[in-house]
Amino acid sequence: MIYARKQKQMITRLMEKGIKDTAVLKAMAAVPRHEFVQPGMEFQAYDEKALPIGFDQTISHPYTVALMTQTLQVTPHKRILEIGTGSGYQAAVLCSMGARVFTVERIGPLARRAAEKLSAMGFRFLSRTGDGSMGWTTYAPYDGIIVTAGAPVSPTSLLDQLTEGGRCVIPIGSEEGQMLTLFIRAGDELKKIEIEPLSFVPLIGKDGWSTSK
């Protein structure tokens, strides 16, 4: 099948670009990325590029998904909060790795479409529509938080929801470009590690950007 070949090529590229976490590679080899893109774009799903999914949002590059997931250090049963459900692909990868996934999306139609897709594939997760910049306090604390949109500053509301040793992977910077950043909770302290520059759609919300340009 053509998609299977392109998916295998994607995994090879990810390994060449430095993705070493076998659990991440296995999950991305199992999740059908072409099911999460808009009709007519399926053939491009495994290429190394972001694709539009409607409402001025995108599905991230495969490398971006792999890098963020690898940085999060996901293992089975870890509680992971995803901010920005989008297409649902990142959540599917996390679910495939055995994580307990909680995901928030501010755009209602995207949230519903992603939830329907994930449910149809048999994944178990909890989702809601709302301001992701504030996290989801109901189920906090989390072992990991992954933010798939760029924030202007470190969002305190999210970082406060990390458990001891928890990791938050988030792009921080301007709306034109951000630095992918890792925060690790150690008591009352947060260790900050800059990973690499990337570009994301803006995180809209109380602890993010007020409006999108």
Q: What pLDDT digit, counting tens, does each position of 52-88 carry? A: 999 989 999 999 999 999 999 999 999 999 999 999 9
Domain boundaries, the chain: 2-198
Cβ(66)–Cβ(14) below 8 Å: yes
Cβ(203)–Cβ(149) below 8 Å: yes
From residue 13, alpha-carbon distances to 48, 105, 164, 190 in Å are: 9, 29, 34, 33
Average pLDDT, integer, range 25-33: 98
In whole angstroms, what is the distance from residue 40 CA to residue 42 CA?
A: 6
141 upstream amide cis, omega within 30 of 0: yes
Q: Which of 106, 110, 117 is nearest to 83 (CA)?
A: 106
2-198: which CATH number, 3.20.20.140, 1.10.10.10, 3.40.50.150, 3.30.499.10? 3.40.50.150
Whether this model's pTM surpasses 0.85? yes
Write the pLDDT tens digit of every residue in 48-58: 999 999 998 99
Catalytic residues: 60
Write the pLDDT tens digit of every residue in 164-191: 999 999 999 987 889 999 999 999 999 9
Residue-level pLDDT at 213: 44
Residue 208: pLDDT band with limits 50, 70, 90? confident
Look at residue 53 and give its three-state secondary structure.
strand
Write the single-letter amino acid at 162: L
Q: Which residues of 26-49 are buried (b: 16+ CB within 10 A; e: fewer)?
A: ebbeebebbbbbeeeebeebbbee
Residue-level pLDDT at 46: 97
Residue-level pLDDT at 37: 97
Residue-level pLDDT at 211: 66
Strands (E), 111-202: 125-129, 142-147, 162-173, 178-186, 189-198
Q: Which of 183, 194, 202, 200 is nearest to 73 (CA)?
A: 183
Residue 123: alpha-carbon gap to chain centroid: 16
Residue-level pLDDT at 58: 94
- Residues 51, 54, 57, CA angle at the centre, nearest 5°? 65
Write the pLDDT tens digit of every residue in 126-166: 999 999 999 999 999 999 999 999 999 988 999 999 999 99
